[in-house]
Amino acid sequence: MDAGPLRSPAAAAAAAGAAAALTSTASDSVLGRTSRAGVARELTAGESAFCGATAGLVARAVVSPLDVVKITLQLETGGRAQQAVRWPAGGSAIACASRILRREGVRGFFKGNLAAEYLYLTYGGAQFVAFGAAQAALARVPGMPRRARSFVGGAAAGAAATALTYPLDLLRTRFAAQDLARRVHTSIAGAVRHIHAEEGVRGFYRGLWPACLQIMPYMGIVFGSYDALASGYAWLRRNVAVADTFATRALDASQDAVIGAAAAVVGKTCVYPLDLVRKRLQIQGPRLRSYARGAVPAYSGMGHALSYIVRHEGFLALFRGLTPALVKAAPTSAAIFFVFGQTRDILLAMRH
């Protein structure tokens, strides 16, 4: 793709027309679009990385306060498990947000935001590149259904992106966990030096195993659900006589967001206990008491953490912070798929 630095009015009009033709038809895959004329176009690896990174940056800006509330609840212990899973949003989530605001001010909702921006930027790009590579490899497997390819490709993409960006995820958790009044780390560079000196390289990967176990089914469900729902919507738009009105065009434009949000809520609920365990493991180490909002014990691993939480805090404790997690997951996924879809359509429309 080489659109050049300047474009003539005729070329711009042609691109706008191509974009309209693409966006007026529902996408039938995450990485590609099929126009009404039946022309299928798909992103390259570089284009996927750009679209994914852009989507990640926008999504992070939307959900930073919810992320801090969720992590704070996950690191609390005690008898609040019943409140932690209340739906709709209320109870412990609102109380937690009020505590953060009262103790630390508005700044408290953006702790670790720089590390998180790096995380979302890198993760977003890596995830969609890995998904494209996995899809290309799985397409050569004879007899493998498309839905299965989407699930396996999403799982593989999630695992690869998580492993690549995990140190940034750990830094994000530790910055969000610490109290601004008694900070352990004041900068990313300082945090990297402290963790390396006190815990070694392994310290950057605490909780990686439950993270991968969590993200693989989660991203498999998200990508698989997105593919199924988007294909169904595309079929309806092609085969059901619906007038091309402002409402239908608006629905076409927002379907990436709606489908992405629905898929994320289902996936997040299924794998949430592993996400909680991952956060508990990420704050382990010599400075555990500086991060924990209560008597978080030292865990020897994922299995020990799961059994200890259930035995001492109850089964519902595995879902502490689920309300803000779902409230966060839906707009995050909606923003990612919507921004990815919009940048995808622009790039595909610019092709000659």
Residue 30, domain CATH: 1.50.40.10
| Tokens found for residue 193 | 């030096």
What's the CA angle centered on 144, arms 142 and 145, to 5 degrees? 140
Res. 241 pLDDT band, cuts 50 70 90: low
Domain count, the chain: 1
Residue 164: other Cβ atoms inside 10 A: 15
The answer on pLDDT for 111 being more than 50 is yes
Res. 103 pLDDT band, cuts 50 70 90: confident
Q: Is residue 91 part of a domain?
A: yes
Mean pLDDT over 259-269 rounds to: 87
Mean pLDDT over 154-183 rounds to: 86
Q: What is the mean pLDDT of the chain?
A: 78
**Percent helix, strand and coil across the chain, each to the nearest 5:** 75, 0, 25
The answer on pLDDT for 326 being more than 60 is yes
Q: Is residue 2 part of a domain?
A: no
At residue 291, the pLDDT reads: 61
Phi then psi dihedrals of residue 237, to 5 deg: -65, -30
Q: Which residues contact 113 (CB under 8 A, 6 or more apart)?
A: 60, 64
Q: Is residue 280 part of a domain?
A: yes
Q: Is residue 252 part of a domain?
A: yes
Phi then psi dihedrals of residue 287, to 5 deg: -110, 25
CA distances from 5 to 23, 60, 89, 94 (A): 24, 30, 48, 49
Q: Which of 139, 157, 169 is closest to 223 using CA atoms?
A: 157
Q: Is residue 89 part of a domain?
A: yes
The answer on pLDDT for 110 being more than 90 is no
The answer on pLDDT for 215 being more than 80 is yes
Residue 270: other Cβ atoms inside 10 A: 13
What does 237-293 look like in DSSP terms, one character per residue? HHHS-----HHHHHHHHHHHHHHHHHHHHHHHHHHHHHHHHHHHHHT-STTHHHH-B
Mean pLDDT over 126-136 rounds to: 91
Res. 37 pLDDT band, cuts 50 70 90: low
Please list the residues that pair with 76 across neighbouring strands: 293
Res. 126 pLDDT band, cuts 50 70 90: very high
At residue 295, the pLDDT reads: 66
According to DSSP, residue 201 is labeled G
At residue 78, the pLDDT reads: 58
Q: Is residue 4 part of a domain?
A: no
According to DSSP, residue 76 is labeled B
At residue 82, the pLDDT reads: 43
| Tokens found for residue 83 | 């409140």
At residue 226, the pLDDT reads: 85
Whether the CB-CB separation of 59 and 288 falls below 8 Å is answered with no
Exposure on the CB side of residue 331, measured as CA atoms within 13 A: 14
**150-154, 162-166, 197-201, 313-317 — which is least confidently predicted?**
313-317
Q: Is residue 296 part of a domain?
A: yes
Which residue range is the domain that position 239 belongs to? 9-349
At residue 1, the pLDDT reads: 32
Range among 24-33, 43-52, 274-283 with highest mean pLDDT value: 43-52
At residue 196, the pLDDT reads: 92
The answer on pLDDT for 266 being more than 60 is yes
38-69 residue pLDDT tens: 666 788 888 899 999 999 888 887 777 887 88
